[in-house]
Amino acid sequence: MISFVRSMLIIYLTLFFFALYTLLIIYYWQSWSSMPEYAAGKQDPLTKFSVIVPARNEEQYINACMQSVCNQNYPANLRQVIVVDDASTDRTWELISDFKAKGEIEGLRLEEKANSNFFAYKKRAIQAGIEFSANDVIVTTDADCLHSTDWLTTIASFYEEKKSALIAAPVVYQHDSSVLQRFQALDFLVLQGITAASAHKNIHSMCNGANLIYEKKAFGEVNGFDTVDHIASGDDMLLMHKISKRFPGRVHYLKSKQAVVLTQPMKTWSDFWNQRIRWSSKARFYDDKRISVVLLLVYFFNLSFVALLIAGIWNLKCWVFLLILLFAKTLVEVPFVYSVARYFGQQSLVKYFLVFQPLHIAYTLAAGCLGQFRKYEWKGRTVQ
């Protein structure tokens, strides 16, 4: 009898979380759908950019990245490209030096940090690039990314129109036909939709450092990475929250296909887990309580599937309810996911959405938990 009562309590709690989760997803969907696509103006750009590319062990991708950054349809006198080599152990610096010798970029090379308790390597690289930069607007991207030729032109047009202190811009995964890469691409599309919706409505802070723009003055006024410079991750979202607090109404999302940056998914399941653990490791440091509430809701809703699975041992109705809930979750999410996927031309991935649901629930729970306690490997370093 006690087990039956407990199982029914789990069902009722799950329904409560599901109701809140449904409202959240509908809100994201409406926010995304109401956001107009930005069309760049035809006036000559005026903004001077310093594009900062932190790089560590990126010999496989750095050449293609540099070519896409250097081949922009943007006046050469209005852009500075700074590649910061973060103590790479492969040929990354050698390849950077080739572009540097041609005068296309400027390169900095950082030495390995002697302090074994230091983990904020990417922030250190970006900080070095900003200190070296000559222009007033910073653009950060990653060394494994590709950029359209109108990337900077579109950003400049948007910035000059909106007078933004910070702009979050879209990032999309390239992918092959493997299960791992399709799963990552679809999962990342969902994150992009949430990023756009949350920035558009200013409900919480989300962005991606592979395509992030902010004023150097704004970076300075919030003291840069101070107070978050001990955290391995968070060079994007933690900074975004600091700037959004200091400059309310001046943080925007650039919804434009011309501004999309293509990046690479993880090639192995091990790398995927390490990346997701790294991302989730910053969750306990969020000063933005709104996103903390959202993360807790999502975590507990996903945890309810595990609770139902266990409760089904004593009450078979829980297993039936679990299957119904899985389909209901999918039905709630599909309109939002499809609209984002269609915008980025990846709607073919949506047919895998239901199949990937159990994997998504499992990784959300595992990464969310392990990210708070476990060390992880990233680019040849062990990080706590």
- Are the C-beta atoms of residues 285 and 234 closer than 8 Å to each other? yes
- Are the C-beta atoms of residues 365 and 302 closer than 8 Å to each other? yes
Measure CA 370 to chain center.
19
120 pLDDT band, cuts 50/70/90, is: confident
Closest to 95 (Cα-Cα) out of 51, 64, 132, 54 = 64
Lowest mean pLDDT among 5-14, 142-151, 331-340, 372-381: 372-381
Tell me the average pLDDT of the chain: 90
Buried b (16+ CB within 10 A) or exposed e, 269-296: eeebbbbbbbbbbbbeebebeebeebbe
Query: Which residues are bridge partners to 166 per DSSP?
Result: 214, 251
Q: What is the pLDDT of residues 162-194, one digit of tens each?
A: 999 999 999 999 998 899 999 999 999 999 999
The Cα 237–Cα 257 span in angstroms is 22
The Cα 282–Cα 237 span in angstroms is 9
Task: Give the pLDDT score at 40.
Answer: 87
* Mean pLDDT, rounded, for 58-87: 95
Residue type present at position 155: I
137 pLDDT band, cuts 50/70/90, is: very high
pLDDT at 229 over 70: yes
The Cα 360–Cα 305 span in angstroms is 12
Domain 38-265 has what CATH class?
Answer: alpha beta
Question: What radius of gyration, in Å, describes the C-alpha atoms of the chain?
Answer: 22
The Cα 259–Cα 83 span in angstroms is 20
> Higher model confidence: residue 105 or residue 114?
105
The helix-helix angle for 179-201 and 269-280 (nearest 10°) equals: 20
The Cα 177–Cα 171 span in angstroms is 19
* Mean pLDDT, rounded, for 281-305: 84
Mapping DSSP onto H, E and C, the string for 306-319 reads HHHHHHCCCCCHHH
Tokens 């997803």, residue?
A: 25
β strands within 202-354, DSSP E: 212-215, 251-253, 261-263
Q: What size, in residues, is the chain?
A: 384
Residue type present at position 22: T
Task: Give the pLDDT score at 102.
Answer: 87
366 Cβ neighbours under 8 A, 6+ residues apart: 273
* Burial tier of 38 (Cβ tally within 10 Å: 0-12, 13-18, 19+): buried
* Mean pLDDT, rounded, for 81-88: 95
Helix (H) or strand (E) holding 54: strand 49-55
pLDDT at 377 over 80: no
Tokens 């594009």, residue?
A: 51
* Mean pLDDT, rounded, for 149-168: 96
Task: Give the pLDDT score at 219.
Answer: 95
109 CB neighbour count, 10 Å cutoff: 16
Q: What is the pLDDT of residues 34-64, one digit of tens each?
A: 999 999 888 899 999 999 999 999 999 999 9
CA atoms within 13 A on the CB side of 291: 22
What six digits make up the tokens of 135?
């222009």
What six digits make up the tokens of 105?
């970029």
Predicted TM-score of the model (pTM): 0.90
- Are the C-beta atoms of residues 139 and 254 closer than 8 Å to each other? no
Structural domain boundaries of the chain? 2-33+289-378, 38-265
The helix-helix angle for 353-370 and 289-311 (nearest 10°) equals: 110
